[in-house]
Structure 1
């Protein structure tokens, strides 16, 4: 896949930065353009609704800034550690590589909001099912987890995931 570990990390860095920048751009646009009333994209289904979220999805841990401030960097380090275990020269691991770096971008995007504003900017609302308001970073993390579970169950064999817990060969 990649010819060197350096190239692997460079492309991972680019993927993370691009994901982070896209998240920031959408949040800046949401902050500047959204207000009252909401912008209805598909009546009764999808709209843009500006929300300053001090918790997590479904208003869990509302107002727990310290919890998120501590756990998010730890989760980012865990993601980076797991990504460092993946072989950089094997295409079969590319899906894990991609979702890992996108999840990292999502975590960093929401961490940035928490540090800069003490809340996360959410703005995408599925009114059809009254789904909690979310943002692009949330899409990265949620889709990344769903794809990871799918890959874990249906794509990778057990021995292929040993890369996460065996020691690196020197």
Structure 2
């Protein structure tokens, strides 16, 4: 239940911020927040992250459903809290951008940073959720996940048994 609420809260935060930007900041307008560093800029993205694969709406709609289905299955089967947290963030972000693609045909982005003179691609709350979730997932896989011992033990028993038959 906690994970469902977390996903719903993150999804709602994404949708509310996007609606606010669409209603209050004309498309293409840039509002300076921190001079030379951070702006609110209303852009519409028909592609994926950073505008790649423009006009891939139906591809991304289908791909998102497939990936979310797999993630939900993994989340249900695994009780590891960090893994569930990672998947919750990814699901919330994916759902936020997915609903934009389904209903509007494009994703609203508005966080605009200039970092060390580089104009970083504009992004939204859903993108932040996906990145946090992906970071947590990579951390989990690299530093926490362990292969189940039952499968390894069964394989070792099988190998040990094979050696005894050869004698």
* 2:67 equivalent among 59, 71, 75: 75
Runs of 4+ off more than 6 Å? none
**1:54 — aligned with what?**
46
What are the Cα deviations for residues 102-160 of structure 1, in whole angstroms up to 9, with x where unaligned? 21011100011001110000111112331111100001111111121122222x14236
**2:81 — aligned with what?**
94
DSSP 3-state at the match of 2:110: strand
Q: Partners in 2 of 1:161 and 1:138 — Cα distance?
A: 36
The count of corresponding residues between Structure 1 and Structure 2 is 147
TM-score, L = length of structure 2: 0.82
Unaligned runs of 5+ in 2: 151-167
Between the two structures, name the one with larger relative contact order (CA 8 Å, sep ≥ 6).
1
> Aligned-residue CA RMSD in angstroms?
1.8
What are the Cα deviations for residues 45-74 of structure 1, in whole angstroms up to 9, with x where unaligned? 111100110001222110011101111111
Q: Partners in 1 of 2:98 and 2:29 — Cα distance?
A: 28
**2:19 — aligned with what?**
28
Question: Is 1:130 matched up with 2:122?
Answer: no
Question: Is 1:41 matched up with 2:33?
Answer: yes
Q: Partners in 2 of 1:11 and 1:59 — Cα distance?
A: 33
TM-score, L = length of structure 1: 0.80
- Distance 1:161-1:61 versus aligned 2 partners, 3 A rule: farther
